[in-house]
A and B are shown apart, each in its own frame.
Chain A
Amino acid sequence: MRWVIKLSLAALTAGLVMSGAAYAASAEKGKTAYVQHGCWQCHGFVGQGGITGPKLGPDPLPLEGLSAFIRSSNGPMPPYPEKILPNEDLADIHAYLQSVPKPPDYKTIPLLNP
């Protein structure tokens, strides 16, 4: 649970600094960046998570918290420094995760209610 503690601290201190004017993040660009940077490998194409990584969307962590974690992850997830994942791409990915539709209630899915 070390990564959870670090993430919480990062969110509290709001470590991310975006340079210049606010960047207009794009969910469409974020979907491309999400695949290009390999997020899909552990978290699935729609951020659903699985045995290799937790669910990311919908309702992702705030951008600042997500960024702080991704930049400095020391747990099972490898870190993504800014050199390999630019701030703009990260913001776009965050926008994409926010755009993922909410899943249905499992109680409404017959195959999940034997």
Chain B
Amino acid sequence: MTPKQSGFAVDRRKFLTGVAVAGAATAATPAANATPAATAPARLPSALPPTAHQIAAETGTPKELSRVGGKPGSDFMMDVIKTLDIKYCPSNCASSFRALHESMINYGENKMPEYLNCMHEESAVGIAHGYFKIAGKPLMTMCHGTVGLQHAAMGIYNAWCDRVPVIVIGGNDLDAAYRPPGVPTFHSAQDINALVRDFTKWDDTPVSSQHFAQSFVRGYKLCVTPPYGPVMFSLDAGLQQEPVREHGEKLYIPKYTPAAPPHGDMNAVREAAKLLANASNPVIVADRAARTANGVKLLVELAELLQAKVIDQQGRMNFPKTHHLNSQLGAVNTADVIIGLELSDFWATVNQYTDNGEHGGIGFNQSRMKPGTKLISISSVDLITKANYQDFQRFQSVDISMGGDAEATLPALIEAVKSAIPNDKKAAIEKRGEDAKKAYATNEARTRAAAAIAWDASPISTARLCMEVYNAIKDLDWSLVASEGNVSNWPNRLWPINKHHQWIGRSGGYGVGYGLPASVGAALANRDIGGRFSVSIQSDGDMMYAPGVMWTAAKHKIPLLSVMHNNRGYHQEVMHVQRLSNFRNRVASLGGDMGPIGTSIQNPDIEYHKLAESMGWWAKGPIKDPALLGPAIKEAVAVVKSGQPALLNVWTQPR
């Protein structure tokens, strides 16, 4: 790395005075030589030739650029970034990327991307995570390469597991001989990317401006090629701050061309189609199958061709909830052919694990399937599986395995199924559809009856919470941008979630703290689309990891309705510790709270509404009476429609 250089100072004011005198003298000279005339008194020349000092000032670097001596590297980086249509950069500021930050807001005019002021790096990545799932375009974030990246790491892991692209730039200062001592050196490392290499698609450490250009365009391309995933750049402070050097050739910005997504092998597609077409009870299971709204249409077409039940595992909105083929996990029990589309866990789809402490605490497993059931998998994640982090889950053997993007493969699979369905199967397929309609209607009634239980209870039932919210937004173009706590899945069971943007999945890695920032990011994308109403079911534990993102939402005028599922605890752990206490034949110590010590969020009860108000939100609570919930939600909806984020602190049942 070239060491930093300092320029030289020139007094521009003195230089300009000298030029005026020299110019006047030069202009006078030709007239004096032209014609002999009567002797006139001697005149001083009006301009003198420039001195060496003046020549240097005229041809050297102006004082205001003396420290840089040319175009700053980070200005060129902005030129590169601006070719890629990146709308926002959520970030928590730091000295290690001060140069790129300054270029972004001044040289780049704070547009494309616009800097979003965040209080925590995990929030910044979370915003990018949620934003992508609505907008379909990645955001970039900048962070300190060490301490900031450590904060960001959980968000990056969630994005990795959820197959979402985020472009992460970590500032670093590699030159140990010249970087400032003290804090900047604490914040430097040889290889900052190592921290997240196991859960990013790709990373690089550019060492020249041209290298940055190639690297950034490559990184963008990789992160938006399915399977999507985060990418990481270590960006040296010196490279950002020093002038651009061309090394003998003019700098250029490579053109970005999107890569076509990988596609299932056609022979395998035909084999899979034959199995599905000849099955008596085919079942489709979809997790992150529908990357786009078109994926939903394709899945509906496939399901209707076969009249196959569809289990939507809700990694994305894959299948309309009001469709008669929408089914539950129990459908696996009677299937003879199961096709899994971008499943994050095929093993747990067809097997059940019970945590009952048997076998020395391991629990026990049993298959959900009938013997002889055929399994088909289409998954792009097979192409980028890494070893260290275990997001790939337990290994499940299948009969046909395709490493390819499910949505990209569906058109070919649909055509192959059309060709493969024998004529004598068509009546049976039609009957399957009729049976599915009856089963759907029965299940609907059963679900609504279950929702009615504890309808007037206090704390408020999760069914009541969800249906009061739906009632207030049902006539709007709504989008449920997060529901990370477990509200017994009522929205997916009772709301007519039929459009791709109405449900965007979960965190991916189940790192708690995703819900709040992701809902802000998704709400930002919905705001920009225009007229779309964002609502989240916000759990208490999730919020408390980094509540400062509420300030970011207010600061950047991101309208969002957060209705809290405040069950006053980290409820999953409430149950886990209770379970272990029971296995060990011990009474769980509660310490004066409702749940085992260390799992409750009570005494004192956090006043989330006051916390939200302090950061610029409209807020109300705590709401414990279900009769007051509907009117409060209606009031909050009006606030959000005016452009301000709003929060309702609602005390709820645990699940």
Residues of chain A whose beta carbon lies under 8 Å from any beta carbon of chain B: 35-36, 38, 40-42, 44-46, 48-53, 55, 73-76, 78-81, 83-84, 103-106, 109, 111-114
Contact = CB atoms under 8 A, between A and B. Distances in A.
Contacts of B653: 44-45, 48, 50
B655 A80 contact: no
A103 B454 contact: yes
Interface of B: 354-358, 445, 448-455, 457, 459, 461-462, 467-468, 470-471, 474, 486, 488-489, 494, 496, 571, 574-575, 578-579, 581-583, 585-588, 590, 594-595, 653-655
5 contacts: A49-B450, A51-B486, A52-B488, A78-B578, A109-B455
A37 to B, nearest CB: 8
Contacts of A84: 581-582, 585-587
Contact of B595 (A41, A44, A49, A76): A41
A83 B585 contact: yes
B308 to A, nearest CB: 25
Nearest to A73: B356
Q: Which of B454, B462, B586 has the most CB of A within 10 A?
A: B454
Given A36-B590, A84-B585, A49 B453 contact: yes
A83 B387 CA distance: 44
B195 to A, nearest CB: 35
Contacts of B655: 42, 44, 50-53
Contacts of A74: 356, 358
Given A44-B653, A76-B356, A78-B356, A52 B452 contact: no
Given A78-B356, A83-B585, A106 B452 contact: yes
Contacts of A38: 574, 578, 588, 595
Contacts of A48: 453-454, 457, 461, 653
Nearest to B459: A45
A42 B354 CA distance: 15
A27 B314 CA distance: 40
B485 to A, nearest CB: 11
Nearest to B357: A78
Nearest to A84: B587
B585 A81 contact: yes
B579 A40 contact: no
Contacts of A80: 582
A103 B582 contact: no
A81 B583 CA distance: 9
A56 to B, nearest CB: 10
B582 A79 contact: yes
Contacts of B358: 74
Contact of B452 (A40, A76, A109): A109
Contact of A103 (B445, B452, B486): B452
Given A41-B575, A80-B582, A106-B452, 11 more contacts: A40-B654, A44-B457, A45-B454, A50-B462, A51-B655, A52-B575, A73-B356, A75-B354, A104-B452, A104-B455, A112-B448
A44 B654 contact: yes
A52 B586 CA distance: 22
Given A40-B654, A111-B471, A78 B583 contact: yes
B451 A41 contact: no
B488 A112 contact: no
What are the 5 closest A-B residue pairs judged by CB atoms, nearest first? A78-B582, A48-B454, A106-B452, A50-B655, A51-B488
A38 B445 CA distance: 30
A112 B444 CA distance: 11
A8 B419 CA distance: 49
Contacts of B578: 38, 41, 78
Contacts of B356: 73-76, 78
B586 to A, nearest CB: 7
B452 A105 contact: yes
A39 to B, nearest CB: 10
A76 B354 contact: yes
Contact of A41 (B355, B449, B474, B571): B571
A53 B594 CA distance: 18
Nearest to A102: B453
